[in-house]
């Protein structure tokens, strides 16, 4: 993997993410998810999940739904 040199970009300190912020960055797709399944009561309370794939989005959403399962759709860059 090639290393990047940010020094050449001459960024101001407030424009550079710190290591703690980088840990919260995930993939490049946003999915609209909700707890439960299509037609279920959770459909009216969607939330956004950013992950690399639909499978990852579903896994994360399900972990937030207290065992109710989850439905995700869309893949918006």
pLDDT tens for each residue of 1-50: 455 666 666 767 666 666 666 656 655 789 999 998 877 667 788 899 98
Q: Which residue has the higher pLDDT, 37 or 77?
A: 37
Burial class (CB in 10 A: 0-12, 13-18, 19+), 70: buried
pTM of the model: 0.59
The rounded distance, in Å, linking the Cα atoms of 73 and 35 is 12
Give residue 32's pLDDT: 93
Give residue 1's pLDDT: 43
Give residue 5's pLDDT: 67
∠ at Cα 59 (53, 61), nearest 5°? 100
């Amino acid at each position: 993997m090639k290393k990047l040199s940010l020094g050449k970009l001459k960024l101001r300190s407030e424009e550079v993410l710190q290591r703690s912020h980088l840990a919260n960055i995930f993939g490049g797709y946003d999915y609209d998810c909700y707890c439960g399944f299509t037609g279920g009561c959770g459909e009216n309370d969607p939330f956004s999940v950013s992950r690399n794939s639909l499978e990852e989005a579903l896994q994360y959403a399900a972990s937030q739904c207290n065992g109710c399962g989850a439905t995700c759709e869309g893949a918006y860059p």
